């Protein structure tokens, strides 16, 4: 018996400015269904950042030419599954370009999304499946409970 407790909850989205919103709604519904309300806020934040990045990646013209013929460069997808106490969130886009964690200066306009993911996720990374594009994934878990006063 594996630790995987739920099936994948897959959502395909058009590359559109409203897609992060629909992705957040999807994540909320799935986590409510799993009674993981403790992770909804964090998961929605991380989802917004990863889906926004996926959409931006599509805006680069090379994403389309890089995409394998059998994947749709006009779509991205997200899915969620849980492994034990952890939630795994994955976002696929058609670009083969990897995400790059930057350390933004105070006056930099961007470069904060992955910093946030790095801060909130237990782990994150990416891989490029043979079928095309890439998947940026992260794992989320509830923070460990603080010891009650006087019990430490």
Ligand X SMILES: Nc1ncnc2c1ncn2[C@@H]1O[C@H](COP(=O)(O)OP(=O)(O)OP(=O)(O)O)[C@@H](O)[C@H]1O
Q: Least distance (Å) from ligand X to the CB of residue 22? A: 17
Pick what 1 binds: ligand X, Mg ion, none; C-beta below 5 to 8 Å, kind-dependent.
none
Q: Find the binding residues for ligand X in span 12-71 (CB under 6 A).
A: 49, 53-54, 56-57
User: Which two three-digit tokens encode residue 1?
Assistant: 């018996």
Pick what 20 binds: Mg ion, ligand X, none; C-beta below 5 to 8 Å, kind-dependent.
none
7 DSSP assignment: -
Contact 77, 93 (CB under 8 A): no
98 DSSP assignment: P
What separation in angstroms does the CA of 82 have from each of 92, 93, 139? 18, 21, 9
Count CB atoms within 10 A of the CB of residue 15.
20
Pick what 79 binds: ligand X, Mg ion, none; C-beta below 5 to 8 Å, kind-dependent.
none
Nearer to ligand X, 7 or 104 (CB): 104
Q: Which one of residues 8, 10, 29, 112 is an interface residue with ligand X (CB under 6 A)?
A: 112
Q: Which residue stretch of 28-36, 45-53, 64-72, 132-140 sits at the interface with Mg ion (rule: CB under 5 A)?
A: 45-53
Contact 71, 128 (CB under 8 A): no
**Does 53 contact Mg ion by CB under 5 A?**
yes
């Amino acid at each position: 018996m594996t630790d995987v407790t739920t099936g994948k909850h897959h959502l395909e989205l058009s590359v559109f400015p409203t897609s992060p919103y629909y992705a957040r709604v999807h994540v909320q519904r799935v986590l409510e269904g799993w009674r993981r309300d403790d992770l909804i806020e964090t998961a929605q934040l991380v989802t917004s950042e990863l889906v926004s990045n996926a959409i931006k990646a599509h805006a680069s013209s090379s994403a389309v030419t890089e995409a394998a013929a059998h994947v749709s460069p006009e779509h991205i997808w997200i899915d969620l599954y849980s492994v034990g106490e952890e939630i795994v969130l994955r976002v696929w886009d058609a670009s083969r370009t990897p995400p790059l964690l930057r350390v933004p200066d105070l006056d930099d306009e961007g470069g904060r999304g992955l910093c946030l993911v790095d801060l909130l996720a237990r782990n994150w990374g990416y891989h490029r499946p043979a079928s095309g594009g890439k998947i940026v994934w992260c794992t989320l878990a509830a923070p460990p409970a603080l010891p009650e006063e006087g019990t430490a």
